[in-house]
Structure formats: C-alpha cells, structure tokens
Amino acid sequence: MAVIIYTETENGSFKKVAFEIASYGKALADQVGQKLVAVTFNQEDGSALGTYGVDEVVNITGAFTSSFSAKKYAAALAQIASEKEASLVVVSSSANSKYLAPLLAVKLAAAYTSNVIALPESTEPLTLKRTCYTSKALSIVSSNQPINIIGLSSNAFGIIETQSSPSQSSVAVEEATSSMQVSSVEKVTGVITIADADVVVSGGRGLKGPENWYLIEDLAATLGAATACSKPVSDMGWRPHSEHVGQTGKPVASNLYIAIGVSGAIQHLAGINSSKVKVVINIDPEAPFFKAADYGIVGDAFEVLPKLIEKLKAFKAA
Amino acid sequence: MKILVCISNVPDTTSKINFVDSNTKFDTQGVQFIINPNDEFGLTRAVWFQQKQQAEVTVLTVGDASCEPTLRKCLAIGADKAIRVDADPTDGYFVAKQIAAVCEKESYDLIIAGRESIDHNGAMVPGLVAGMLDYEYITNCISLEIENDQATAAREIDGGKEIVSSGFPLVIGAQKGLVEESDLIIPNMRGIMQARKKFLEVMAATDAVASSTVVSFDKPAPKGEVKLIDADDIDTLIDLLHNEAKVI
C-alpha cells in the first residue's frame, strides 16, 4: 500500500506544483500510515522530491514519455498504482493533470474528486472538502469507492519541506495505443504562466489599449508575476485568450491577485475567487471589484502604476 | 457525422447561491437555469458542423423534467433532436455512465461536453465518458476542424496551446475559444417555433451507482471590508502586502 502522486516536470525540472503535490502527499501518507511514491515521466533525476518527504520515485521511461499524452500517461500511472496496490492517488489542478485524471479514474475504477482544498476530514470513507459553484461555495464530499483520486487545488495546501532520501527506479511500461498526434506546441517561454504563478497581475479595459500593457508587464516583472486580463480585453484582441481569467477563462488561485482597471463583473470574480489576497486599482470607486478585494486604491492606473512599480523595485532591492 | 452534445442545466452565473435541507441541496427558489456556458460553446460549434458539413446534432441531458426548457433552447439554437435521461444527476461518474450507455446504443462519431460545469466544477464528465468508451479525448479545446475523417483541434495548455489531430470516435471538452462569445446563437422566433416540433426523447436511466455523495454544502466565510489606501500613499500598500498579508 502506498499513496501515489503524479509529479509533473518540464524540460528536466520539477514544476512548482509538483512540490505542493508532494507536500500534500506526504501529509496524506502520514495520515493513513503509508509510504509516499512519486511517479515521474522521462525525468532521470528525482532527488529534488527528497526535500518534500517522498519515499520512492518511479520514473516511467520509453519513447512516448518525451511528450505529454493524457491517455498514455494515465495508462502508465494506472499500472504503477495497481502494482503498488494504491488506494489514494494525488494529482494537481494543472491543465495536464485535469486532463488525465478522469481517464485514470476509469482505469482504476476510482472516484475522482477535483478542486480539493484540504487534507481528508476522514479516510473511512474518504471525505474531502472542495470548492464548487465556481468558488462561491464549498462542499463536503464522501466517496463510495475504495480507490480515490484527489485533485488538489493550486496553492490550497502550500509547500512544506520534509527531508527524505527517496529510492529511485526506472520502469518501462507498455504504451497505450492512440490515434492522436500532437503536431505542434506553441508555448510562451521565459514567462511565468497563470497556473504556476504566486502572483498574478491582471489588466482590464481601464488600461485603454494594448499599447499600455507595458505597465502591466513591468509590474508583473517586478513581482515575478504572471500577466492576465479580463474578458473584454481578450474579446477585443488586446491580449491572447490564454490570458483571459474568469468563469469562461482560466481559473486563478494565486497568493496575490492585483486587478488594474478591471471593474469586477461577477463572471470575472468567479474565476479569481480562490486567490488569497486581492488588490484592486480602479478609478471608479463604485467598481464591484472593491467589494471583493482586500486592499484597494481609487485612482488613475496611469498615475498609480508607475509609482507602484518604482516603489516595489526599491522594496525588492532593499 | 453524428454529433452528441452533452448539456448541463446550471444556475445562471448571477444567481444567489444558497442551500436548503440542512445545507444538503441547492436552493432553486427564484433561480434561472441556463445551458452551462462551456456546453453552449460546444453546441454552437456542433451547429456550425451541421450547417456547413451536414452533421446531425443531438443534445442530451441527465435530469428531471425541469431541464426540458434548457433542452428546448438547445433545439431552438439548432440541434436536431434532444434526449433527456430521466434521473437525478447525482455526480459526474453517474452522469458519465448515462452518457456512455446512450453512446453504446447510438454510436456517435463526436461527443462534445463542456470542459466543466459552472455548478459542480467537477471537470470530469467528458474524460470519464472517453475512458468508459475508450474513445480519443481532447479537453480545453479552443478550436476544432473536421476534414476527411480526421479532426484537428487546439488544446489550451498552461502558457500556450497544442495542436493535435485525431481519428474518430472522439470526445471533446469544450470551452470558450471553440467559438467566440459573439458566435453564440440567440434563438429567433422561427427557431423557437421549430424547436417545439422537434423530437425530445425521454429515456430511462441505466443502472449506475454514484461514486461520491455530497454530505453538505457551505459558503465561504464572508469577506471583510476592503481596506482603501490613498493613491498617494503607495508605501502603505506595500507595507500591508508585506507585513499584514505577507504575500510579497
């Protein structure tokens, strides 16, 4: 018996979310008195997971592991979980984890619970707290299945260091067949994605045009943040759709969310509700965002932002 | 090309979220129900395939008779026929079982479901259906073209997109981008009149047990008042973010 975690990597390094999953997995493994086994793909060196309490790292090898395939990865994870007689599997809320989790659930005849925000309230039966109604409500869900997949919300548990010396092994698994082929990947490089970011800086119509986005980018660069935008901004083509956050865009669950010139329509707030601390800068004191925010400045973005960037640079340098 | 679009009947975004029966049930009092937005993007693309590539579009929902106005709206938007599986949609697994059972009888080439519903946010129904039927599956789909029995789709990934091609049968997890908001079809009077005459089949549910049960709902603790900081006092904001919120 073991708790299995799917720890995601990119270009040979673990993604930050992998360490949060490991931290959660460690606490869960302690709760049920089992060891913690991390599964990686095409990642020779898994030693970094030893900072987060992982007991064993199983690296899946084979030609197919060089690029993500939900079907093939799910089949491989299912094989390892079955071999280890795992009843608990933890995955993240990344696009790829959410893609493979339901496929894995079918393979393992497991119940999959997404958007989980805490350790189980009980393990017999497994009872989990999750967000629903686009973060406007919470629910307590109890599983009817002996095997469970927990999808942890980003930034819900945090990263906790626990030193361990994981054993490492490589396993070749049978490749699942699929008629699907990835023909190209377009990915921005060198910037932090919304999914990975601790801080997200978001701009709305109040910025008046794409030519003013350097202010958002400067602020984001100063904070090491990802950039995002409201729906009207992506609809008008000022920014790409992949930056649109809100109910029909990307969900945000960052530690800090700074909204500039975003009015705070209910659909926008629904998508960013899971962020811990919200700051709004808007010239209109009646903007609904002020009701949802923790800190607010009523002011002109074009006056406030340059000052904020300058002061933050000084603060970071100090 | 036979397309099945799976529809979730969800409370309108602006609805007040409240619970009744000791916080075990959603309070439907005074709530307007709509087509789940992610499903509607998928339906709109399906209707495009119907109009341009002679596809046949069936919509399906799992629920009681109160879901029928939502199905009629799908018919008014352009779907050819509708199926309602008469059962309480207890959880994502149960719903996926119902969809898979219908697909085994009817064999659709393309199954489209929203990437997630805006009420339960399970984000699992299309993936479970694909897994149960062993069909190919692409979620977070932001474009879809069909040519010569081959689908070409774009999947939104963290920080970009991936272009994939796949054969059929195929399950798609739909979202905005598959069509734009401006492409959504507002039913006209002719569509609404025609929808009344279109076939809405009520099917008995297949035997399945939900994989999970909601014990109770709760609402997040109410948020405190916003702390307003003077636009000339940026130092105070930085101080609060550093010392009070501890986020920078």
Average per-residue pLDDT for chain A: 95
pLDDT over 80 at A189, yes or no: no
- Selecting from B38, B158, B227 the residue whose C-beta is nearest the C-beta of A195 gives B158
Which pLDDT score, from 0 to 100, does residue A25 have?
98
Q: What are phi and psi of A138, to 5 degrees?
A: -125, 155
Which pLDDT score, from 0 to 100, does residue A41 have?
98
Which pLDDT score, from 0 to 100, does residue A232 have?
95
Q: What are phi and psi of B47, to 5 degrees?
A: -65, -35
pLDDT over 90 at B224, yes or no: no
Assess: ipTM above 0.90: yes
Average pLDDT for residues A250-270, to the nearest whole number?
94
pLDDT over 90 at B66, yes or no: yes
For residue B242, CA distances in Å to A158, A275, B94, B176, B248 come to: 18, 16, 47, 36, 5
Which pLDDT score, from 0 to 100, does residue A276 have?
93
Which pLDDT score, from 0 to 100, does residue A79 have?
98
Contacts of A247 in chain B (CB under 8 A): 13, 37, 118
Mapping DSSP to helix (H, G, I), strand (E, B) and coil, where does residue A237 land?
coil
Backbone dihedral region for residue A224 (phi beyond 0: left; psi -120 to 50: alpha; all else: beta): left
Compare all CA atoms of chain A with the CA of B177 and give the residue at the minimum distance. Answer: A241
The pTM of the full predicted model, rounded to 2 decimals, is 0.94
Q: Name A223's Cβ contacts closer than 8 Å, sequence gap at least 6.
A: A199, A201, A256, A258, A312, B248
pLDDT over 90 at B222, yes or no: no
Average pLDDT for residues B6-25, to the nearest whole number?
95
Average per-residue pLDDT for chain B: 96
- Asked whether A20 and A26 are in contact (CB, 8 A), the reply is no
Interface A–B counts its CB contacts (< 8 A) at 253
Higher model confidence: residue A259 or residue A135? A259
For residue A65, CA distances in Å to A54, A127, A131, A213, A292 come to: 22, 33, 32, 38, 43
DSSP code string of B81-105: EEEEEES---SHHHHHHHHHHHHHH
Which pLDDT score, from 0 to 100, does residue A242 have?
86
CA B105, CA A151: separation in Å to the nearest integer? 32
Contacts of B17 in chain A (CB under 8 A): 133, 136-137
Contacts of B137 in chain A (CB under 8 A): 70-71, 99, 103
CA B239, CA A113: separation in Å to the nearest integer? 39
- Selecting from B120, B137, B213 the residue whose C-beta is nearest the C-beta of A144 gives B213
Q: What proportion of chain B, given as a percentage, has pLDDT over 70?
A: 100
**What does the DSSP 8-state code read for residue B108?**
-
Average pLDDT for residues B68-91, to the nearest whole number?
98
Per-residue pLDDT tens digits for A136-186: 899 999 999 999 999 999 999 999 999 999 999 999 999 999 999 999 999
